[in-house]
Structure formats: C-alpha cells, structure tokens
Structure 1
C-alpha cells in the first residue's frame, strides 16, 4: 500500500489481495475490482516457507498485467528464483519475507530487473 501526500490531501493506494489456486478465481477477483484500483497484490506460496501452494503458471498473468500493476507477496523460502519468471510476465513489485533464505541476494539480484522490491516483516 502506498501513501502520497499532495498538499492537504493524502492519497492512499489500496491493493486488493488475491490468494488462489485456480486462475479462474484470480480472473474473477480481478474483474471485480477492474476500474477501481490500479494494483493487485498476488500471494505466492510454494509449500516451502508457508505450507500451502497457490496458482503458479506465471505466463497466464500477462493479460492481467496489461490491466493492472501487479505486486507479488513471495511467501517462499527462495524468492530469488521468482525474479525472472514474475518480471517476464509483468509483475512490477516483488516483496519477500525477511525469514526467506538469501534475502540480501534477492534484493541485490532484483535490482537488475528494474522493478520495485520489498521485504515483509511478520509482526509479533
């Protein structure tokens, strides 16, 4: 979520989150917010850091990336392996968990892709 101050007005970006195993459900949820938001937040789980798996056929996101800016929340142990496939299909921001392996390398390598990068920190 981004916050931008413009004079006396504060603009807040709200990113609808999508955590799905089925691409039809992802499309359905994207359609529900089309025209209302610019960004979609897609949760990515591969059964490594978090014991669950989400939809992971990245090329199918290309049409979604044509309509929205895409952010991936990488709830995975090895986030660097997602840099190339996700940026190739249009993701503009990748956020990995601080608990992931080689988080520093993820951030260093990620800069080469010209996207926004972030680190998620779990609260207490």
Structure 2
C-alpha cells in the first residue's frame, strides 16, 4: 500500500494550521518534518516548537533529522510525538545503537542516505530499521530535480531487504510529483514524501489519490 507523507517544508508557515488540515482532508498519511541545522545540510528549517505544534493536530509525524549529532535530540522528538524518527547514515556515529534506541522509545526507526551514498552502507544494519529513506535530491532545499542514479538505488535496496527477509518500508524524498512518482513506485518505494508538488496542486486530494493509485501500475 502506498502511503503519502506531506512535507510541511512546502507549507505556508503563516497559515500552517490551515495547510495541515488541508493535508489531513486530502488523505495524507503522515506529516513529514524536515529538521535542518545548517551544518549537515546548507539550510536551516525549523525545530522543536514547530514539531510540537503540528503534533497537536493528531496527524502522525514523520520526523527527518537532517542534522549533525542526531542522538542529542532523539529523545525530545520522541517525547513530542514523532511516529517515525529518521537519522542519516552519514551523521550517525553508532547507527545500530541509535536505531535500536529509537525503537525503545516506541517510535519507528528510520535511516536515510543521500544520493551519493551507496545502499550497501546499510547492509550491516538490515533488521535494525523500519524505514529506509532514500534521498532522490541532495538534501537542504525543496523543489530540486531528481538525481537519476538515486532512483536506481530503490530497487537495489529492495533486493537487499527481500534477500535478508526484512520487511522495512522504502521511503523516497525529493521531487516526488505526478510525472516522477510512477518510476519511484515501480522500483519498490511505498512511502512517498511530497512537498512543493502537493501543496501547490489545485486539488490536493486528487493529487494524493493519483499517487496512491500508482501501485496498481507497478
């Protein structure tokens, strides 16, 4: 089943509550919260106050920590109500330990890799995560074009998971739109993060229904 995570980085922050409610009514399964520190990625976004505010809406939160030293903040984001907490393979010193700690906090554990990071770097962590987030653009800004080689990694990682007998979800973030999503789904992703394309769509509900219907064509 395809699930949709609406990236609030693309929302109108002067009307964030209204935009979140619009995503709920449109059928989004998660709110995707990109927490950026300006160090690991060349941008700063938002932190705990915004995550706390959107958590109060009751929608499940998919918190993506695009930051250095994520271990410092995992407990707090779990306390704020995150359903999924995702850390980057590139910034986590002891990945297996961190992922298992996220699970101990009652959250789904996610690990993300940037476009230039081989999926094989996760081979010794298979079984320690519930979600593998493949960045299909270089992280830091919305509205970028997909890095073609990143899409190919979806099928590689899906094959790795199947051979290991691990039932983790593959999530993709970066320019997920109506003209790009089918290839992403065909390669094995089932959790799609979409921001600019969704929030700018004339009919967000129709947009989400179209994405969810792509599984039939996979």
Moved over 6 A (4+): none
Residue of structure 2 equivalent to 1:102: 93
Distance 1:92 1:19, change over 3 A: same
Out of 72-81 and 107-116, give the one that drifted further. Answer: 107-116
Larger Rg: 2
The separation in 2 between residues aligned to 1:100 and 1:116, in whole angstroms, is 19
DSSP 3-state at the match of 1:109: helix
- For residue 103 of structure 1, report the CA deviation from its aligned partner: 4.4
1:44-95 Cα shifts (integer Å, max 9, x gaps)? 101221122112114323313x1x1100111101111221111111111011
Contact 2:100 2:109 in 1 (8 A): no
Show the 5 A alignment for 1:43-122.
Answer: 43-56=34-47, 57=49, 58-64=51-57, 66=58, 68-104=59-95, 105-122=97-114
Cα deviation for residue 25 of structure 1 reads 4.7
Answer 1 or 2: which has greater helix percent.
2
SS at match of 1:102: coil
Bigger shift: 28-37 or 70-79? 28-37
Query: For the residues of structure 2 that align with 1:34 and 1:45, how far apart are their CA atoms?
Result: 24
**TM-score, reference length from structure 1:** 0.76
For structure 2, the 5+ residue unaligned runs are 117-218
Inter-partner Cα distance in structure 2 for 1:21 and 1:54: 12
3-state DSSP of counterpart to 1:55: coil
Classify 1:72/1:108 alpha carbon distance in 2 versus 1 (closer, same or farther; 3 Å).
same
When the two chains are superposed, the root-mean-square deviation of aligned CA atoms in Å is: 2.2
Check the 8 A contact 1:96/1:118 in 2, yes or no: yes
Query: Closer, same or farther in 2 for the Cα pair 1:50/1:22, shift >3 Å?
Result: farther
Structure 1 unmatched ranges of 5 or more? 1-10
Corresponding residue SS for 1:107: helix
Does the Cα contact within 8 Å between 1:49 and 1:77 map onto a contact in 2? yes
Output the TM-score relative to the length of structure 2.
Answer: 0.46
Aligned length: 112
Q: Residue 29 of structure 1: which of 19, 42, 52 is its match?
A: 19
